[in-house]
Amino acid sequence: MSITITAFERSPDGGKGLARDTRVRWALEEAGLAYEVRLVPFRAMKEAEHLALHPFGQIPTYEEGDLVLFETGSIVFHIAETHAGLLPADANARARTITWMFAALNTVEPPILDLGTARLLEGDKPWHAERLPLVQDRIRTRLTQLAHRLGDAEWLDGAFTAGDLLMVSVLLRLRSSGILDEYPTLAAYVARGEARPAYQRAFAAQLAVNAKPAAG
Report the residue from 33, 38, 85, 114 that binds a copy of itself according to the rule CB under 8 A: 114
151 lines the binding site for a copy of itself (CB under 8 A): no
22 lines the binding site for a copy of itself (CB under 8 A): no
- Cα(137)–Cα(111) distance, integer angstroms: 9
178 lines the binding site for a copy of itself (CB under 8 A): no
CA 207 to chain centre: 15
Shortest spacing between CB 213 and a copy of itself, in angstroms? 33
* For a copy of itself, the closer CB: 46 or 212: 46
Binding mask 33-52 for a copy of itself (x = CB under 8 A): ------------------x-
- Cα(150)–Cα(157) distance, integer angstroms: 8
**CB burial class (10 A; 0-12, 13-18, 19+) of residue 44?**
middle
Pairing of strands 36-40, 3-8: parallel
In three-state secondary structure terms, 182 is: helix
153 lines the binding site for a copy of itself (CB under 8 A): no
* For a copy of itself, the closer CB: 107 or 177: 107
119 lines the binding site for a copy of itself (CB under 8 A): no
* For a copy of itself, the closer CB: 121 or 215: 121
CA angle 101, 195, 90 (to 5 degrees): 40
Size of residue set near a copy of itself by CB under 8 A: 45
* 196-200: long-range pairs with CB below 8 Å, 24+: 196/30, 196/160, 197/29, 198/26, 198/29, 198/30, 199/26, 199/29, 199/168
77 lines the binding site for a copy of itself (CB under 8 A): yes
User: Taking the CB of residue 73, how many other CB atoms lie within 10 A of it?
Assistant: 18
- Cα(43)–Cα(89) distance, integer angstroms: 43
Report the residue from 113, 120, 159, 204 that binds a copy of itself according to the rule CB under 8 A: 113
116 lines the binding site for a copy of itself (CB under 8 A): no
Closest CA to 171 of 203, 196, 137, 146: 146
Shortest spacing between CB 81 and a copy of itself, in angstroms? 8
Which residues lie near a copy of itself (CB under 8 A)?
51, 55-58, 66-75, 77-78, 92, 95-96, 98-99, 101-103, 105-107, 109-110, 113-114, 121-122, 125-127, 130-131, 134, 142, 145-146, 148-149
